[in-house]
Amino acid sequence: QLQLVESGGGLVQSGGSLRLSCEASGDTLEYHSVGWSRQTPGKEHEGVSCISVSGGNTNYADSVKGRFTISRDDAKRTVSLEMNNLKPEDTAVYYCAAARTNTDFVTSESRIDFWGQGTQVTVSS
């Protein structure tokens, strides 16, 4: 059973940067597609970014394209999300997620098998 633990959230000013990390344990990460989702109070989860099993394909929500970059290091069992030029509307709890098959988390979260507990990102204006 794959367990995911996020870190790296915090408070940052508008225009600043943060790097989120997700560490996997309990199983190898290399056969899972992985990604990030976020949620603000009263709103549904929003798929932010995902990366395929091979690492060769990535996808991003339109709201973060050009600002966020996802990467994975299977040897270290980590997934990272580099977030630049942050905006107040990026404020949310960010969740790491994984699926046993190649899954586009941005368009649908129905095939996600594992979730982390979330890390808060707050962007002040």
Q: Does 75 have pLDDT greater than 90?
A: yes
CB distance 97 to 116 below 8 Å: yes
User: What's the CA angle centered on 23, arms 56 and 63, to 5 degrees?
Assistant: 55
User: What's the CA angle centered on 90, arms 122 and 119, to 5 degrees?
Assistant: 50
**Separation between Cα atoms, residue 49 and residue 69, nearest integer Å:** 8
Percent of the chain residues past pLDDT 90, beyond the cut: 84
Label residue 97 by pLDDT band (50, 70, 90): very high
Nearest CA to 47 out of 1, 110, 4, 2 is that of: 110
Cα-based distances in Å from 26 to 29, 36, 101: 9, 19, 17
Q: Does 109 have pLDDT greater than 90?
A: no
pLDDT one-digit tens code per residue, 1-58: 899 999 999 999 999 999 999 999 998 888 999 999 999 988 888 999 999 999 899 9
